[in-house]
Amino acid sequence: MTTVLDSPKARQPGDELSPELLADSELVDRYVDGRRRVTRLEAENAALLAEIDRRRAYEPDFFTTEAFLQSRVADSGKAARRCVAEARGLQEYPSVAMAYRAAEIDRPRVAMLLAASRVSPGLFQRDQEMLVETASTHTMAGTHQALEYWKQQADQVAAAADAEHLHRRRHLHASQSLGGMVRIDGELDPIGGRTVIIALRSLADAGAIDRVDDRTPEQRRADALVELCADHLQHGDVAESGGSKPQVIVTVSLDALRGRAGEPCELDAETVITPEAARRIACDASVSRVLMRGESEVLDVGRTTRVVPAAIRRALVVRDKGCTHPGCDRPHHWCDVHHVVHWADGGDTGLENLVLLCRRHHRTAHEGRTSGQSRE
């Protein structure tokens, strides 16, 4: 009796295609071979599509080859554009097409090569054989890098134009959505984007040392962005406009600060915030008292003063060094001054009633009282 070690079940005639019946080596061979066959089929299909495109072989209702693909094979608009660009590109560069048909390079590499060709079609024509050779022998990352160098060397002007094109595409939107949340989206050029990623990561990772940190990575990045901006407003070289530095303005009644609900509590006179959030912001802010009669008549406006004078803040920095929340190591310049007994409740702005808390733990101390108690 023979035992086939790699095969858990005995093979029956007619079911040799079933993967669980294949020996390890055969399984692997078939998979790798399958991948190559798929690549060859893709190359063949690209050639068919190029001919369809050239002849406009589809029904006249479809005005473009892309529309034909969307309708007949249910491609998305983006996928259809990619297929057509690939088919046309392969017609231009026979070395790429040949290597594709022989499955020496796969579809993602073809896409990378054709994208590089756009920088300088003439020079790509000249160098295509060498570039295909590189793509067929390197990893995706290696191919990408080699192509980047080729772009720079082949035509510095074109490469610069390409980089300039990316740079010009940069944009950022920050808009308030319903419910007061602010939506941020945009695209940055490679260098600017890298700067942002590194800055956000350094801030987001610093918080991760804290073992009780239960924020998701996404929440950490969001907090990091807010911290960067708050730090800029607080310590940065911010240009004054209209006689004062740009800042977040909270309008709140004294009653609301003392915890009475239903009183106005507004951010920049548009977003309603909770009284507790207003109390947190007021802990360490500049305050000006506006005396009102009724809803609209201003009787008197007081001077704007810092709740925590600079000298007391300095003394606090010497004593606390950074956030006083257990396990948190945020340095003092990322910290707010927190009143253990709020000044609105008669708490004193003296060292014995103040502690440094990073913005996250300051928020916990006010709005998430469960774990946020500061040190005694």
Binding mask 181-200 for Zn ion (x = CB under 5 A): --------------------
From candidates 206, 361, 364, 374, binder to Zn ion by CB under 5 A: 361
Contact flag: residue 323 with Zn ion (CB under 5 A): yes
From first CA to last CA, the distance across the chain in angstroms is 80
Listed ranges 21-29, 134-142, 330-338, 344-352: which one lies at the site for Zn ion (CB under 5 A): 330-338
Query: Minimum Å distance from CB 312 to Zn ion?
Result: 15
Query: Residue 136: which region, alpha, beta or left (left: phi > 0; alpha: psi -120 to 50)?
Result: alpha
- Report d(CA 238, CA 314) in Å as an integer: 21
Nearer to Zn ion, 220 or 330 (CB): 330
109 vs 359 by CB, closer to Zn ion: 359
| Nearer to Zn ion among residue 69 and residue 328 (C-beta) | 328
Contact 131, 112 (CB under 8 A): no
Is residue 356 involved in binding Zn ion (CB under 5 A)?
no
Residue 249 Cβ, how far from Zn ion at the closest point, in Å? 18
Q: Is 282 in the site for Zn ion (CB under 5 A)?
A: no
- Cα 319 from Cα 315, distance rounded (Å): 6
Q: Does 338 bind Zn ion (CB under 5 A)?
A: yes
Stretch that binds Zn ion, among 32-40, 49-57, 256-264, 331-339 (CB under 5 A): 331-339
For position 358 contacting Zn ion by CB under 5 A, the verdict is yes
Q: Tell me: does residue 328 bind Zn ion (CB under 5 A).
A: yes
Going by their DSSP bridges, the two strands 354-358 and 335-339 should be labelled as antiparallel
Cα dist. 56→50, 64, 87, 90 in Å? 10, 8, 13, 17
C-alpha span between 117 and 125 (Å, rounded): 8
330 interacts with Zn ion by CB under 5 A: yes
Q: Write each residue from 136 to 175 as x if it is in contact with Zn ion (CB under 5 A), else as -, in one continuous string.
A: ----------------------------------------
Interface contacts to Zn ion, rule CB under 5 A: 283, 323, 325, 328, 330, 338, 358, 361
